[in-house]
Chains A and B, each alone.
Chain A
Amino acid sequence: MKRQNVLVQCIVNGEEVAEYVDPRESLLDMLRNHLGLTSVKKGCEVGECGACTVIIDGETIDSCIYLAVWAEGKNIRTLEGLEEDGQITRIQEAFIEEGAVQCGFCTPGFIMSATVLLEQGKELTRDEIRKKMSGNLCRCTGYQNIVNAVDKVMHENAESSRKE
C-alpha cells in the first residue's frame, strides 16, 4: 500500500512551493495539512458549501473537490495571502464593519469569493452580487451583511475609479 508521492510545484500566496503529495489528496488536504493554511475550511467535501474556496489563477474553486496534483503550475491564493505588511484588505475590514462575521467558519470562503469579484472591477447590482456569491453557504448571517460588505467596497472602488 505504500504509494509514490508526486512532486507538485506551484505558487501559493505569492511564494513558490514544492510539495510531495499523495495523488489521492485533495488540494484542501495539501493546503491545510502540508502548508498549514487552516483558513481553508472543510464543510461538506462535495463542493456544496464553499467553505474551502480558494482562488486559482484568478478563479474561485472548491479545494475539496480539486486534487492536489492539479495544482501543478498554478497560482493559488488563500485568505492567509491577502494581507500585505500586516494590513488586511478593504473587504476584510468591511466584513468587520458591516457585521458580516458570526461563527466565522464560512468567512474565509466568502472573502475569497468576494475578492475575485472585487478584483474584476465591475460594479454589480445587489442581485448580481448574490448570484456571484451563491456558491458559499452561511447559516448564521442570512447573508444580509455579507452582501452589504461586498456592496460597500464595490461602491467605494467604483467611486475612487470615477475620481481618477
Chain B
Amino acid sequence: MYDIENYYNAKTVSEAVELLTEHPDARIISGGSDVLIKIREGRMAGTSLVSIRDIEELKGIEKKDSGDIYIGAGTVFSHITADPIIQECVPVLGEAVDQVGGPQIRNIGTIGGNICNGAVSADSVPTVFSYNSLLHIANAEGSRVVPVREFYLGPGRVALKQGEVLMHVVIPRTEYEGYHGHYIKYSMRNAMDIATLSCSVVSKVNPETKILEDVRITFGVAAPVPYRCVETEELLKGRKLGEELYRKLEDSIRSEIHPRDSWRASKAFRLQIGGEIARRALIRTVELAGVPADSVSGGEMA
C-alpha cells in the first residue's frame, strides 16, 4: 500500500497538462520505479499522482523524414534497447539504458522519468547530453523545446514546471550521423546498481587521417548536474588519435570534473576513475569508427 492521496489517470497529453494544472500538488507518475519508492520512503508520502502511463502518444520511437529520432518519453528502457532505429542510429543509447537496474526495472522504467527526476546517476542522460538532444515539452500554451543541456537546474531540479509534460527526446540527425558513441557505467555491481560515476563519449573520427574531428564527453555523478566536459572537448578536437591524446584527455578530465566526497566514494577516487573511463570510452568509439586502437600508438603522434 502506498500513501497516495489522489490518483488521476490521463489518457492524452492535454488531459495530463490539465490535470496537473488543476491539481498543483499532484506529481507525474510514469514507470513508477522512482516515484513509488519515494512515496514509500516518506519523501513523497501523501502526494497526489497524475499517471501518464496510458498516453499512447508518449510511447515508441520514430525516425522522421528529416532523420531526427523522436523517442517518446514514456518508452521503457527495454523497448529502447530492442528498437531497430536505436540499434541502427544510436546504439550507445540502447546499451546505456540496458545497464539500468535489472531486467524488471528496465521493463517499467521510462526514459522520460529518467531525465525528469533529475538524478545525476541516470543512465540515459549522459548519452542524451552527448547527442545534444532536444526535449519537447507540452504545456497549457502548447509546447516548447528545451536543449537537454539547459534542462538541469541543480541537484534534483529540472526545468519542468508544474503543468508541463515531457513528450519526446529528440536526437537531431546532424548530431548522430557519422558519430560513434560509447557509455561506461562505473558501479559497484554489474547489475541492480546506480552509477558511482558514468561517462558517455560520442565522437567523429576520420579513419583516413586518424583525426578526432569532433568529440562530446558527458559525465554523470561528476558534478551536481550531468556534466558536459566542454574544455576537454575543445582541447581534443582536431587532434590526431594516439596515446598522447588519450593522456591529455585523462588529465584534462581530472581537472574539469568536480565530483564530491561522499560515503559512496571519495573525490580522489572519482577523479581517478573519471579519467580512466573517459579514456576507455573514447578509445572504444574510435574502434567503433573502424580505427583499431593499436594503429595509432603513441609513436605516431603528430
Q: Which A residues are closer than 8 A to B by beta carbons?
A: 22-26, 29, 45-48, 50, 53, 59-62, 65-67, 69-70, 113, 131-137
Contact = CB atoms under 8 A, between A and B. Distances in A.
B70 to A, nearest CB: 23
Interface string B3-41: 110010100000000000000000000001100110010
Contacts of B107: 59-61
A62 B2 CA distance: 15
Contacts of A65: 32-33, 36-37, 108
The 6 closest A-B pairs by CB, nearest first: A135-B102, A134-B191, A23-B7, A135-B104, A59-B107, A135-B103
Given A60-B107, A70-B51, A134-B102, 19 more contacts: A24-B1, A24-B2, A24-B3, A25-B1, A26-B36, A45-B40, A47-B33, A47-B101, A48-B192, A50-B102, A50-B104, A59-B78, A59-B107, A60-B104, A65-B32, A67-B32, A70-B32, A70-B53, A135-B103
Interface of B: 1-4, 7, 9, 32-33, 36-37, 40, 51, 53, 78, 101-105, 107-108, 190-192
A29 B40 CA distance: 14
B2 A69 contact: no
A136 B192 CA distance: 9
A132 B81 CA distance: 13
Nearest to A63: B104
A22 B36 CA distance: 15
A26 B101 contact: no
B192 A67 contact: no
Contacts of A46: 37, 40
Nearest to A132: B103
17 contacts: A24-B2, A24-B4, A25-B1, A26-B1, A45-B40, A47-B33, A47-B37, A47-B104, A50-B104, A59-B78, A59-B107, A67-B7, A67-B36, A113-B103, A113-B104, A134-B103, A134-B190
Contacts of A61: 104, 107-108
Given A25-B1, A60-B104, A60-B107, A69 B32 contact: no
Contacts of B37: 46-47, 65
Given A46-B37, A65-B33, A67-B32, A135 B108 contact: no
Interface of B is mostly: loop
A122 to B, nearest CB: 13
A22 B6 CA distance: 11
Contacts of A29: 1
B101 A135 contact: yes
A62 B37 CA distance: 12
Contacts of B191: 131, 134-135
A54 B4 CA distance: 23
A69 B7 contact: yes
Contact of B105 (A24, A26, A132, A135): A135
Given A24-B1, A135-B103, A69 B192 contact: no
Contact of A137 (B1, B32, B192): B192
Contacts of A23: 4, 7
A130 to B, nearest CB: 8
A22 B53 contact: no
Contacts of B53: 70
A50 B36 CA distance: 16
B43 to A, nearest CB: 13
A69 B103 CA distance: 22
A71 to B, nearest CB: 11
B253 to A, nearest CB: 29
Contacts of B3: 24
B104 A22 contact: no
A3 B36 CA distance: 19
A48 B33 CA distance: 10
